[in-house]
Amino acid sequence: MPAARPVLSAAEVAALFLTLSEKRVLQVAWSATDALARNWALVLILSTIATMIVVPLMVLRKYVRISLNIMRTTKPPLSRSPLDFDRLTGEPVSFPAYDGLPLQGLLIRGNPRVLRRGLVVFAHEFCADLHSCARYCRCLQEAGYDILTFDFRGHGQSECPPDYTPRQWVTDRDLDDLRGAAAFAEHWLAEQGYPVEFGVFGISRGACAAVLLAAENAHARALVLDGAFSTDTTIEYFMRRWAYIFAKVRFVYENHPPTFWRFLRWAMIHYAAREFRCRFPSVQKAIRRLTPRPVLFIHGEKDSYLPVEQSRRLYALAPQPKYLWVAAGARHNQAAVLHPERYSRLTMTFFDQHLARLTMPAPASADHAPPVPWGHPTVVADEASPPAAYAAG
């Protein structure tokens, strides 16, 4: 008879199973070690690639988070209190934005005692309202220009959708608002029997919206842009400016290649559009598409929020005829406050020649010379420089 098989206890079965499992683990570990030893070069390459991908992604994520906080919280300084000027009076009007949102505006007729010169659409700065046009456009109204001013959504008396929060960065919603104002202006001009063309006077974010509108609307015949900037390049400026606060290794943040910053700003705009539920059009791309028309750039020399290089960059991309006035000593949107007479004379002369198409008489003396020789195709005007020092850009 065959010998009886020994009966194993539960403890012995468990020990045997563990022994077999350990052997299997050791076999797998040995096989993996052997494979790594035989393919060490491939492993090194894969590890390097993984490191090169993971580390930059972690850096990008950190910078994007920082930049999103900048876009959420950073607010530009207003040039002065919104109530520091006497308001201009006019006819209250309402019209829909391009996406149908009701907007409130004011149509201010030009001085009835002088010849009418044209219509200027005013686009106010962030955190202001339609009445702020008085600070910038009073001289135009007195000279005979009609002014159409309005409240962007979320400002003044205009409504704001519940899913949108206005910020200092120009969005597709702001462009929709200015499109609505342009459509109202065109309809009103046609009804009055006037030529369907107008000037646009934009301040800061309003100036950005003016460029975006002009790139698609040929009826915007002349542009005055005070404190203009492009969101993408400005975000890159802020990221470079604040990187040293958040980055732990100085050598790293000081030696990022230009490609890194360009990719970072692209990622930043992408994440911001998704979080804020709107698009952030590039003003510098729009100005490249701008068909030739007169553009006057104004920027404060000591603007610590948006450096003058932002306007210089856009100026360099704009088609002819174009002009740039750097207001000496002025901070953000302060040129009209610090140099009120020159500001008024400069903007009125610009619209007179390029919108009203008035022929400027020759000055009787140097003291009465126009602030900028508009006949020159390109002039860089600097308040800090004497008139004789104006030079072609």
Residue 56 lies in a domain: no
pLDDT confidence of residue 156: 92
Alpha carbon distance 374, 294 (integer Å): 10
Backbone conformation region of residue 329, classed left if phi is above 0, alpha if psi is from -120 to 50, else beta: left
Helix (H, G, I), strand (E, B) or coil at 290: coil
Residue 223 lies in a domain: yes
Residues 6+ apart with CB under 8 A from 366: 387
Largest CA distance in the chain: 137
Residue 14 lies in a domain: no
The parent domain of residue 189 ranges over 91-230+282-356+373-389
pLDDT confidence of residue 54: 61
Output the tens digit of pLDDT for each of the chain's 393 residues.
Answer: 555 555 555 555 555 555 655 566 566 666 766 666 666 666 567 666 666 566 556 656 666 666 666 666 655 555 445 456 789 999 999 999 999 999 999 999 999 999 999 999 999 999 899 999 999 999 999 999 999 999 999 999 999 999 898 988 899 999 999 999 999 999 999 999 999 999 999 999 999 999 999 999 999 999 999 999 998 888 777 776 665 555 554 544 555 666 766 777 777 787 778 888 889 999 999 999 999 999 999 999 988 778 888 899 999 999 999 999 999 989 888 899 999 999 999 999 999 999 998 755 444 333 333 444 444 434 444 443 333 322 322
Number of domains in the chain: 1
Q: Are 120 and 201 in contact (CB under 8 A)?
A: yes
Query: Can you give the pTM of this predicted structure?
Result: 0.75
Alpha carbon distance 154, 131 (integer Å): 15
Alpha carbon distance 17, 19 (integer Å): 5
Phi and psi torsions of 86, nearest 5°: -80, 130
CA 47 to chain centre: 40
Alpha carbon distance 286, 233 (integer Å): 13
Alpha carbon distance 378, 393 (integer Å): 6
Residues 6+ apart with CB under 8 A from 128: 78, 82, 155, 203
Residue 35 lies in a domain: no
Helix 205-214 to helix 172-192 angle (10° resolution) is 60
Cis peptide before 321 (omega within 30 of 0): yes
pLDDT confidence of residue 376: 40
Provide the token pair at 29.
Answer: 């570990």
DSSP string, 139-183: HHHHHTEEEEEEPPTTSTT----TT----SS--HHHHHHHHHHHH
pLDDT confidence of residue 353: 94
Alpha carbon distance 49, 160 (integer Å): 48
Cβ-defined contacts of 152-156 (< 8 Å, 24+): 152/103, 152/123, 152/124, 152/177, 152/206, 153/97, 153/101, 153/103, 153/177, 155/124, 155/127, 155/128, 155/129, 156/104, 156/129, 156/130, 156/131
Where residue 173 sits, what CATH number does that domain have? 3.40.50.1820
Residue 116 lies in a domain: yes
Helix (H, G, I), strand (E, B) or coil at 185: helix
Q: Are 345 and 371 in contact (CB under 8 A)?
A: yes
295-300 and 102-108 beta bridge pairing: unpaired
Residue 12 lies in a domain: no
Closest to 348 measured CA to CA, from 370, 365, 320, 330: 370
Alpha-carbon dihedral of residues 40, 45, 48, 54, nearest 10 degrees?
Answer: -110
Residue 323 lies in a domain: yes
- Mark out the alpha helices in the chain (DSSP H runs): 10-38, 40-73, 133-143, 172-192, 205-214, 231-246, 250-254, 258-276, 283-288, 309-317, 335-338, 340-354
The CA angle 232-235-237, to the nearest 5 degrees, is: 110
Provide the token pair at 111.
Answer: 């001085």
pLDDT confidence of residue 390: 27
Residue 290 lies in a domain: yes
Helix (H, G, I), strand (E, B) or coil at 98: coil
